[in-house]
């Protein structure tokens, strides 16, 4: 089958270890099933894997990809859930210390076929396009849990998103807007900030800008480059939800004093549960949300999409048709 595979890793030249070509179809463990993919999508996670972060070298070659939608063995249309719990785990699978994401232990979704545990698919609603469906399992699910499970905000609250154009950032803007939250963004680039406003953000600011008022919650995925701004932007008692550190995880200042003095909550957030993914698919359809898509490419041209992400050019999701 055609697949996008990580064959070697380089922190400085991630594309050097990317191979787009033929791979054997995945072996299917007992109690697992297969999905024939129609669409898949790219995440920063795939770039981290190529850089050698989160994917040990002894597991290579590994088919990349956490996002996908396709046809299940029974012929139904499904969205793939990428969080694989350990055997026997019950409850919130994101809290399973032995969980993995597709492409960390088991081959991922940037392929014609993916094998997943039987419970790791949710029905694709009829009103959800294949392109939109591919966007949801990782960046959008992460944004959903950040906003609706972990931020503790109510409609009318002001939420600052650090970053404007990325997959998680655009999902936060579109979901927050649909839920009646006032979404503010920061960006390294004014045009990308304006694009976020066109997508539904209330205001856009340059990175580090002084805001007109303090916000109720900050959605943080940029990390070191924006951490101090996130702490300073919050009202007393506000919440930072952090799910990523694209610019690094060692900020120049940890801001411990401000965190305790302002009684801030710092909440880690990772992916989401299968139930949250099912609710997300329904919400996207019912609210008429069309996830922001940067580009749609045939899987054979996946390298071009990876290059856009490595260069920081992506606005929304890069979708692959299989």
Residues making contact with ligand NAP (CB under 6 A): 43-45, 48, 138-139, 142, 163-169, 187-189, 192, 207, 221-222, 225-226, 243-247, 270-271, 309, 312, 314
| Element containing residue 186 per DSSP (H, E) | strand 182-187
Q: How far is the CB of 28 from ligand NAP (least distance, A)?
A: 26
Q: How far is the CB of 163 from ligand NAP (least distance, A)?
A: 3
- Closer residue to ligand NAP, CB minimum distance, 1 or 245: 245
- Closer residue to ligand NAP, CB minimum distance, 38 or 145: 145
Say how many Å lie between the first and final Cα of the chain, rounded: 11
Number of Cβ within 10 Å of residue 94's Cβ equals: 18
Strands 158-162 and 182-187: parallel
Question: Is 82 within 8 Å of 67 (Cβ atoms)?
Answer: yes
| Element containing residue 297 per DSSP (H, E) | strand 293-298
Structure tokens at 66: 């956490």
- Closer residue to ligand NAP, CB minimum distance, 34 or 270: 270
Q: How far is the CB of 99 from ligand NAP (least distance, A)?
A: 11
Number of Cβ within 10 Å of residue 155's Cβ equals: 9
Strands 32-41 and 67-72: antiparallel
Q: How far is the CB of 25 from ligand NAP (least distance, A)?
A: 27
Q: How far is the CB of 65 from ligand NAP (least distance, A)?
A: 12
Position with the least CB separation from ligand NAP: 166
Structure tokens at 6: 């990580």
- Closer residue to ligand NAP, CB minimum distance, 111 or 164: 164
- Closer residue to ligand NAP, CB minimum distance, 23 or 229: 229
């Amino acid at each position: 089958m055609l697949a996008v595979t990580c064959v070697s890793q380089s922190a400085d030249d991630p594309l050097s270890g990317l191979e787009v070509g033929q791979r054997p179809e995945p072996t299917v463990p007992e109690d697992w099933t297969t999905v024939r993919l129609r669409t898949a999508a790219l995440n920063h996670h795939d770039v981290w894997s190529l850089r050698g972060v989160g994917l040990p070298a002894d597991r290579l070659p590994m088919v990349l990809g956490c996002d996908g939608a396709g046809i299940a063995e029974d012929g139904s249309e499904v969205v793939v859930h990428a969080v694989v719990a350990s055997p026997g785990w019950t409850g919130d699978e994101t809290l399973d210390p032995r969980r993995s994401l597709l492409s960390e232990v088991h081959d991922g979704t940037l392929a014609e076929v993916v094998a997943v545990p039987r419970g790791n698919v949710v029905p694709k609603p009829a009103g959800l396009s294949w392109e939109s469906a591919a966007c949801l399992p990782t960046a959008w699910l992460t944004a959903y849990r950040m906003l609706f499970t972990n931020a503790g905000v109510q409609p009318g609250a002001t939420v600052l998103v650090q970053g404007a154009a990325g997959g998680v950032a655009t999902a936060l803007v579109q979901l927050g807007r649909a839920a009646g939250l006032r979404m503010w963004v920061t960006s390294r680039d004014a045009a990308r900030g304006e694009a976020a406003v066109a997508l539904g953000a209330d205001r856009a600011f340059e990175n580090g800008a002084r805001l007109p008022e303090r916000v109720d919650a900050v959605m943080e995925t940029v990390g070191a480059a924006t951490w101090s701004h996130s702490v300073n932007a919050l009202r007393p008692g506000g919440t930072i939800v952090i799910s990523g550190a694209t610019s690094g995880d060692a900020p120049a200042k940890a801001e411990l004093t401000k965190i305790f003095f302002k009684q801030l909550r710092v909440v880690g957030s990772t992916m989401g549960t299968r139930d949250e993914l099912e609710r997300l698919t329904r919400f996207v359809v019912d609210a008429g949300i069309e996830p922001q898509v940067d580009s749609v490419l045939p899987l054979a041209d996946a390298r071009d999409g990876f290059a856009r992400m490595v260069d920081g050019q992506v606005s929304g999701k890069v979708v692959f048709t299989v």
